[in-house]
Structure 1
């Protein structure tokens, strides 16, 4: 059997993340939604801690930070007008950091995220947030399709177990598969922020 290789490797695409100083940090759906109740994610608290450290490093570096919130309307776990839909305090926006509200998994769909990033002149993105298999995956794919170079920080993401045709699929399998799908071609996946150069 041949050794496994990503499409990135096979097509000669870069496999090393850009420096943080040349990137923008996009914090996707780090909302209270995922910290409680039916949508609570496995390993959510360590992921929020990692995202908070990454956010602190980005602020120290003075790079652009964009926050994304998902809104699914009143009464939903994604109600941005209610406390449950708000961004977790530890990673809440500060100063003039923009907040973009989206209605689709891909943060670029029906938002001005692309326009804001183009105005900043950045092509390299660092992504953190929730959920790995939905909005992180969709946003990384969307970024790639628009010509950006996304890097996903694995320990600053999390997901949940899902029902499957053959029974429950454990969150660890969903997490691993979601990250592997991104890393195959759509972006570079690093284990934690220490893998991203200054």
Structure 2
């Protein structure tokens, strides 16, 4: 086993919050396809949720903090964990879990492109993993400066090559 799927911050409050993610339904469908494929091929899935401070909308245990039920993840077989920083490796045992499972290829999907996807993709490369950025399976929201589409395209171009290999969800074979 050398591949794993890493789902980042696909949480109720981020996905269904007041600001809608760019092309969210298509991105979610692509992630669901990858989850089904991973389950069928017995590829491990790691799903992380961002945990905000007590009293924040994504504080541990809050309804908005929960992973999307539409992902149909199984806590008995999938690896679910929490983080408090954009980099999913920071302050977690993700690297140790991946090393113990002999994972090399790490397929990254989820939210938000310019924060947690970017930070985790760069960190994975720095830690010696082989990150694959699934170009049509990550998203974010518009900002006052840039549209979400521009942010996604920029990160696909910037991360793809220097930090990760870029692939579309339909081409993933694990």
TM-score range normalised by the length of the shorter chain: over 0.9
TM-score scaled by length of structure 1: 0.82
Q: Which residue of 2 aligns with 1:102?
A: 83
Alignment of 1:1-198 (within 5 A): 22-94=2-74, 95-164=76-145, 169-190=146-167, 192-198=168-174
TM-score (norm 2): 0.92
Aligned residues: 173
Rate the CA distance shift 1:34–1:45 in 2: closer, same or farther, 3 A: farther
Following TM superposition, by how much is the alpha carbon of 1:39 offset from its aligned partner in structure 2, in angstroms? 4.0
Q: Is the 8 A contact 1:154 1:189 kept in 2?
A: yes
Q: Which has the larger radius of gyration?
A: 1
Partner of 1:8: none
Q: How many Å separate the matches in 1 of 2:139 and 2:30? A: 11
Q: Which runs of 5+ in 2 are unaligned?
A: none
| Consecutive unaligned residues in structure 1, runs of 5 or more | 1-20
- Partner Cα separation in structure 1 for residue 36 and residue 106 of structure 2: 16
Q: Which deviations, in whole Å up to 9, do the C-alpha atoms of 1:2-30 show, x marking residues without a partner?
A: xxxxxxxxxxxxxxxxxxx6311111111
Per the TM alignment, residue 173 of structure 1 is displaced from its structure 2 partner at its CA by 0.6
Displacement, 1:101?
A: 0.4
Q: What SS class does the counterpart of residue 161 from structure 1 fall into?
A: coil
Q: Distance in 1 between matches of 2:31 and 2:57?
A: 21
Distance 1:152 1:43, change over 3 A: same
- Tell whether the 8 Å contact from 1:27 to 1:128 is kept in structure 2 after alignment: yes
Question: Offset at 1:112?
Answer: 0.4
Is 2:2–2:102's contact at 8 Å kept on the other side of the alignment? no
Cα distance in 2 for partners of 1:34, 1:48 equals: 12
